């Protein structure tokens, strides 16, 4: 019982110290903002919704762009974008894993790599990052079932790339 009370007291003091740690919400208004209107303009989410997403080549690029549109454009396309997001062609590499005695693969790994570049309206690069997503899927006896699981793994990897892009942009604008 005494250890429980000591734990509660320690937890209380740690909670009291938390506001002074210097952390700020990434998507919320900054704590140093003077007025609500300047706080709204300074949020990372507001700035993310003002980024134009350039066309990404191939079918995987279309799916990635759709994921990014869903994540960034909460209130429609930007009328006057503050920056342009360019994502290079997605390179896909498939590696077969878990080989049986008869040299048949029962599992495969899918690795998607690309590079994102955020440019300002004049064309100067503001942020450049290499991105990678790795996922795996089962190779089944049925060719159709294998294609379905591979497609689901690819969509999951593209969603992960969209999440990584959103996170990199949020970190850039929250530290700006």
Question: Which tens digit of pLDDT belongs to each residue from 15-28?
Answer: 776 666 665 665 55
Phi/psi for 103 (5° steps) reads: 65, 25
Residue 173: predicted pLDDT: 85
> Can you give the pTM of this predicted structure?
0.75
Give yes or no for a contact between 28 and 174, defined as CB atoms under 8 angstroms apart.
Answer: no
Q: Looking at 14-18, 78-82, 150-154, which range is the least confident one?
A: 14-18
d(CA 134, CA 128): 20
Task: Identify which has the larger pLDDT, 35 or 60.
Answer: 60
Q: For the domain bounded by 37-174, which CATH number is listed?
A: 3.30.160.150
Q: Looking at 49-63, 81-95, 102-116, which range is the least confident one?
A: 102-116
The HSE-up count of residue 160 (CA atoms within 13 Å, CB side) is 16
């Amino acid at each position: 019982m005494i250890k429980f009370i000591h734990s509660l007291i320690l937890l209380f003091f740690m909670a009291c110290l938390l506001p002074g740690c210097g952390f700020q919400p990434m998507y919320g208004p900054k704590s140093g903002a003077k007025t609500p209107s300047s706080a709204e303009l300074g949020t990372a989410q507001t700035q993310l919704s003002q980024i134009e997403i350039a066309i990404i080549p191939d079918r995987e690029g279309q799916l990635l762009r759709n994921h990014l549109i869903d994540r960034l454009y909460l209130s429609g396309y930007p009328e006057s974008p503050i920056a342009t997001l360019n994502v290079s062609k997605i390179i896909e590499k498939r590696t077969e894993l878990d080989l049986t005695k008869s040299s048949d693969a029962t599992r495969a790994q899918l690795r998607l790599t690309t590079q994102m570049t955020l440019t300002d309206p004049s064309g100067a690069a503001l942020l450049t990052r290499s991105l990678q997503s790795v996922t795996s899927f089962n190779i089944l006896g049925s060719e159709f079932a294998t294609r379905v699981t591979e497609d689901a793994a690819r969509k999951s990897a593209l969603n992960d790339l969209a999440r990584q892009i959103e996170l990199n942009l949020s970190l850039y604008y929250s530290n700006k």
